Amino acid sequence: MPIMQVAPSSFLQRFQVEGVTVGGCSAEECRTFFAAHGIEEEIQIRPSSGALQCRMSDAWMAVFAPDNNTLSFHAIATQISQEILWALLVSPVGFEFKSLEALASSVRVRKNIALAARKTALAFKTEAAERPEAYWHYEEEAGFILQPGQCLIDALVSATQPEATGKLYDFSCYRASEYVILLGLAQEASNHNSPLLTDLQKLNEIHAVRSGLFHDVYLHEYGTLEKPLPSHFFVPGDRLWFRNPDEASSDVTGYEGSWVIYMGSGLFSNFWKRDQPYSLLAKCVEIYHWRDGLQTDSEGEKWMDESVVEARMADTMRNPTKLKRVLERMMKMRDPKGVYADGGCLDSTREYPKQIFPGSNELRLPSY
């Protein structure tokens, strides 16, 4: 189903394009790099403060990325790397790289993350968080840490990709997104920065980097509440948050919102049902109907009836009038934290991994 374009008044502005800035190369080398990824026509490369600023032309964007919309790039891309680069080249927030090698590394990391997210599947509503015991063990302060001598990459795959062990493991979508991102970084490090992979291995044998610290160590965040990213702008490999704007149902654990990875092809990760990834439309409709699935048991505890949510979703998707009404409500920027007013489920920001190519490595790993 194609993405329905819903453009509330707050999104009718024309967004700027900053694209990509690359240092340490000539314009000819830069063009050769992009041409190798199938990007030759309508790319503009201009000198900028000792580097080169690269972006797609306004004419190209008017046809293929109006209002910085990247959700249909897969229709013209021959590979996910091309889709990633096009998204970077139409970004309203600039991405800076010291070299073409650093840019290529960043693209590979994003590709790793997107592909890993497509393979990730978790158990749903089991009783306790768990990991494959051959690779992980739990300590109260440190969290789930790597068994000594086990390969970090294999351990992350075993926890998130059921083909590796024949089993689904239970943990939150937020924690799973951390594993997917760390896996993408570790896979790149294994091929292009082996000392970093060694450091990542040692760190994960001592302490898990989680939640706010994970964000600080491994990720950049771009966009702000004051200057939100365009509603249909996503780069494969981005992590993002969809907020539940319904105060009552957001009190149910796990339904405060949804952390996902944008996997490219117009799709967002569904770690519970990986064979049913979300379109932007479907994700908005699902979160809207969480309010309908809210139940209270005999002891006064709130819980979510997923069967009700699925039935309401199906009904809305079949009814154009209902669908338009739901999307007009949800396809708005979320309210600030703690506020439940007229906001929708869209966040103003995205998160993406820091650069790890030698000479451009941005990671500063914590010591324990």
From the list 100, 79, 113, 106, the residue with the least C-alpha distance to 236 is 113
Residue 135 sits at φ, ψ, to 5 deg, of -115, -25
Q: Where are the domains of the chain?
A: 14-97, 122-222, 239-348
**How much is the pLDDT for 339?**
94
Q: 49-106, pLDDT tens digit by residue?
A: 899 999 999 999 999 999 999 999 999 999 999 999 999 999 999 999 999 999 999 9
In eight-state DSSP terms, residue 254 is T
Query: With a cut of 50, which residues of the chain have pLDDT below it?
Result: 1-13, 126-127
β-sheet bridge partners, residue 302: 296
Contact 88, 352 (CB under 8 A): no
Residue 54, CA distances (Å) to 21, 312, 339, 367 in order:
6, 45, 39, 38
Provide the CB-side half-sphere exposure for 146 (13 A, CA). Answer: 22
Q: 222-265, pLDDT tens digit by residue?
A: 999 889 999 999 999 999 999 999 999 999 988 999 999 999 99
Contact 119, 165 (CB under 8 A): no
Percentage of the chain exceeding pLDDT 90: 89
**How much is the pLDDT for 171?**
85
Full DSSP string of 230-276: PTT---TT-EEEEE---TTGGGSTT-SEEEEEEEETTEE--SSSTTS
**How much is the pLDDT for 212?**
92
**Token digits for 162?**
């059921």
Residue 138 sits at φ, ψ, to 5 deg, of -105, 135
Contact 173, 259 (CB under 8 A): yes
What angle do helix axes 194-204 and 152-160 make, rounded to 10 degrees?
60
**Token digits for 311?**
């039935």
**How much is the pLDDT for 125?**
58
